[in-house]
Structure 1
Amino acid sequence: MIVISDTTPLISLLKINRIDLLEKLFGDVLIPQAVFGELTIDEHFQLEADQIRQKKFIVVKPVKDAVKQTERLNVSFKNNN
């Protein structure tokens, strides 16, 4: 299963020291470069950004075609509901 995360769950889990749950539940977790950018651009999240950098199971990936990827996610979401 491919898991893609947004900023909010990452920050929330880091703040309660339970980022390990993502690895236990899903193995590798992909985050788009834009999500990583949100973490690193805001100085309030510097600690969280440093922690994300240290986690081997969190993989930062660039999005090649955002429109196409969004369409694929929408189809996948609809099929799973």
Structure 2
Amino acid sequence: MTFIIWIIIGGILGWLASMVMKTDAQQGMILNVVVGIVGALLGGWLLGPLFGTGTINSDDFSMSGLLVSFLGAVILLAIVNLLRRGKVR
């Protein structure tokens, strides 16, 4: 059941991050899920200790866990944009 929640919440967080970074027209639903889940891993690694919380990948579905996962997805898209275009956007 947790895997299904990862997919749903990861898709929503990836979609929201792509809206913030203005890459929504370039990616579909599957890439939004991937960005959400991988971004949550990145956020847990970079921002989790800073905020003292987990992410959706560590079964922390609190507001702070969702925020860290969302910020990780935004950071992931910023890195991809920087490597692809030479600017964050």
Q: Find the structure with the greater CA-based Rg.
A: 1
Q: TM-score range by the shorter chain?
A: under 0.3
Q: TM-score, normalised by structure 2?
A: 0.23
